Structure 1
């Protein structure tokens, strides 16, 4: 069966889906709004939604029991956050010397199978990778994307931000790590990557994928080099980029930013039709190169 891409969907359907995914529209809103486009395509609105939703198993690149990695779930304390954090810790099975670390921050659905797979991919590039689940204190990722989004709205974001601060501290202190921590985040996680850059003066590198920008007043606090990825078709997120760029330049922050023309928000997520293989491959190669440069020396 041919894999669907963003080109197989009307642009208005993609906009509706983006609003639905980010809590700006309900499931019913999507179904009602997409109905006329579904009729033109000879399908149902429910069918459109199903076609746009993640297919985790089909996209998996690294199996959980891959012999090249060592993966486990760990819990750490987060006293000024939600009390405890549970996350997915993945290391290369064989490593010579101490390794750099990467904090992986999920989208607004918690630690789903896609983010676990991303974490394993990073470990295969010879990093220690750790992906916390922001939903842990609410029972963890529930195995259903709709339920996960509903849970996400119940989080105290101030406490959740502290959870990620503590997760970075945990990585920095790991005995088999070299003390350097980078962060990569996607959508919500991209916003957290930007936040951590303003919050952690010893952060070694930050890579936000299509994430919300920090307040302009906080940009001067950034010490880490930034590699920023944006989708070309993403008005909601891209609206904040001009002010962010101006603040980064004014504060003389080491940064690179790339806009991948024609790609949709979420283009790196290879479980959905919004995945853009060309853009994702380029952005990911730049990300690993960036981490190798800033976390290994």
Structure 2
């Protein structure tokens, strides 16, 4: 979608999509709200094609790329759902012990965008692992609506334990150098914050993209350096930042926060028009530099 068309979509449409994506309104209510824009001259086709994901757009690194090898791996999760599975991507042009990065999806399962993020990391020399929280229910179903409903039906505490188990599985891979990073988006951003707080020695670096903080009583445990990535227009998540920052300062947690001007929640996701290429590329460059600094 061109920048001009993107600019033609009112901000409230992006805000409604955020409410819909996070279960605050259902699809019927979301479409009804979009209908109010149609009534004043906007095209429903334009609005839905802009706001709903098109995962054909979200492939920056092909799974056939000669520099990586992508496969699936299962792991034990005794405190979660018993077993988990994820997308494991390793560099083929690197030898020896390598840094490892857990890639954590949004609230709808392991979609193609998150797989591509794992491939991007492997292309840069990291062993990347992207678990699918929906594995106990058969895995990501191929569409976000169903995936979101499936994830909502699962016990959140067990999902959290599945990601703890996935993190330990990845950290202990034979080719791991023992330093684990985590990057996550939306719900995945929350899980990055949770992992840093739940097991203080688990992460060596965490990058939550527009994720809410772990529960207040856990934050005193955080030791890993954090790089917090926020979009200026993402008021829902940004409202949680001042209190979280106060606690990070109180507990002497090394952190950086970057606020990206005119960026929406989901600005790194290149499958919808919330994607902000300039800000996403800057945030990703910072993320890679942060991981290289802390994981090598």
Range of TM-score over shorter length: over 0.9
Task: Indicate if the aligned counterparts of 1:5 and 1:275 stay in contact, CA closer than 8 A.
Answer: no
Give me the TM-score of the superposition, normalised by structure 1.
0.96
Q: Distance in 2 between matches of 1:241 and 1:102?
A: 24
- Report the number of matched residues: 295
SS of 1:123 mapped into structure 2: helix
Alpha-carbon deviation of 1:214?
A: 1.6
Task: Indicate if the aligned counterparts of 1:4 and 1:273 stay in contact, CA closer than 8 A.
Answer: no
> Per-residue displacement from partner, 1:210-239 (whole Å, max 9, x unpaired)?
001122332210010000000000111111
Q: Distance in 1 between matches of 2:205 and 2:232?
A: 23
Alpha-carbon deviation of 1:263?
A: 0.4
Residue 188 of structure 1 corresponds to which residue in structure 2? Answer: 187
Residue 21 of structure 2 corresponds to which residue in structure 1? Answer: 21
Q: Distance in 2 between matches of 1:259 and 1:270?
A: 18
Task: Indicate if the aligned counterparts of 1:201 and 1:224 stay in contact, CA closer than 8 A.
Answer: yes
SS of 2:85 mapped into structure 1: strand
SS of 1:263 mapped into structure 2: coil
Residue 109 of structure 2 corresponds to which residue in structure 1? Answer: 110
For structure 2, the residue ranges without an aligned partner over 5 or more in a row are: none
Residue 31 of structure 1 corresponds to which residue in structure 2? Answer: 31
For structure 1, the residue ranges without an aligned partner over 5 or more in a row are: none
Describe how 1:247-266 pairs up with structure 2 within 5 A: 247-266=247-266
SS of 1:64 mapped into structure 2: coil
Q: CA RMSD in A?
A: 1.4
Q: Distance in 1 between matches of 2:153 and 2:276?
A: 31
Residue 79 of structure 2 corresponds to which residue in structure 1? Answer: 80
SS of 1:40 mapped into structure 2: coil
Q: Distance in 2 between matches of 1:253 and 1:53?
A: 37
Q: Distance in 1 between matches of 2:35 and 2:82?
A: 44
SS of 1:34 mapped into structure 2: helix
Q: 1:208 to 1:4 in 2, by over 3 A?
A: farther
User: Is 1:287 equivalent to 2:287 in the alignment?
Assistant: yes
Give me the TM-score of the superposition, normalised by structure 2.
0.96
